[in-house]
Amino acid sequence: MSMHSTITSTFQQVAREQERMLSPLADDLPLLHCGLDSLSFALIVARLEDSLGIDPFEAAVQFPATFGDFVRLYQNFAK
């Protein structure tokens, strides 16, 4: 599975578990308003660390503004 699809399905799974309405995951979707709270992001980051083996947030980084920025953060870190 590509990193993009792994990240997408993790967002969707956490949104389902947290019973939150997730906006469609377009590249320019602002994460601040996508329907998820900080707990949901914490769960997403934890699960991605397990499934992808990386944690781009281990260095203090600015939290990505859009969904596309989030995916690129992971793709760049993995290189």
The H-or-E segment that residue 75 falls in is helix 67-78
Site for other proteins in 50-69 (CB under 8 A): 50, 55, 57-58, 63
| Residues 2-41, mask of contacts with other proteins (x by CB under 8 A) | ---------------xx-------------------xx-x
Distances (CA, A) of 19 to 22, 34, 61, 75, 79: 9, 13, 28, 28, 34
Tell me which residues touch other proteins (CB under 8 A): 17-18, 38-39, 41-43, 45-47, 50, 55, 57-58, 63
